Amino acid sequence: MQSRDSNVQTAKTALSLKKFDWRDYIVYLAFVGVFVYFSVMLFDDGFLTVGNLLNIVRQTTTITLMALAMTFVISTGEIDLSVGSITALSSLVGALALQAGFGLFGGLIAGVGTGLIIGLINGLLVTKVAIPSFLVTLGTMGAVKGMAMWITGTAPVSIVHEQFNFIFGSGDIGPVPILLIWTLVFTVIAHILLRKTSFGRQVLATGGNESAARFSGVKTMKVKLWVFLGTGFMAGLAGLLYAGRMNAGRFSFGEGDELSVIAAVILGGTSLFGGVGTIIGTVVGSLMIGTINNGLIIMGLDVSQQMIIKGLIIILAVAFGKKAMKK
Q: Are 136 and 125 in contact (CB under 8 A)?
A: yes
Measured CA to CA, the distance from residue 211 to residue 292 in angstroms comes to 40
In sequence order, what are the beta bridge partners of 177? 172
pTM above 0.95, yes or no: no
Greatest CA separation for the chain: 82
Instruction: Catalogue the E-assigned strands of 73-194.
Output: 157-158, 172-173, 176-177
Contacts 24+ apart (CB under 8 A), 15-23: 21/322, 23/320, 23/321, 23/322, 23/323
* DSSP SS3 for 1: coil
d(C-alpha 27, C-alpha 279), whole Å? 12
Distance CA 150, CA 294 (A): 32
Q: 151: buried, middle or exposed (CB in 10 Å: 19+, 13-18, 0-12)?
A: middle
Give per-residue burial for 187-217: e unless 16+ CB within 10 Å, then b. Answer: beebbebbeeeeebebbbbbbbebeebeeee
75-114: burial string, b at 16+ Cβ within 10 Å, e else? bbbbbbbbbbbbbbbbbbbbbbbbeeeeeeeebbbbbbbb
**Sequential pLDDT tens for the chain (327 residues):** 445 555 545 555 554 544 656 666 778 888 999 899 999 999 888 899 999 999 999 999 999 999 999 999 999 999 999 999 999 999 999 999 999 999 999 999 999 999 999 999 999 999 999 999 999 999 999 999 999 999 999 999 999 999 999 999 888 898 899 999 999 999 999 999 999 999 999 999 999 999 999 999 999 999 999 999 999 999 999 999 999 999 999 999 999 899 889 989 988 889 888 888 999 999 999 999 999 989 989 988 887 877 787 778 767 766 765 555 555
List, in sequence order, every beta strand (DSSP E) within 142-247: 157-158, 172-173, 176-177
Q: Where are the beta strands (DSSP E) in the chain?
A: 157-158, 172-173, 176-177, 248-249
Q: How many Å apart are CA 202 and CA 80, to the nearest integer?
A: 19
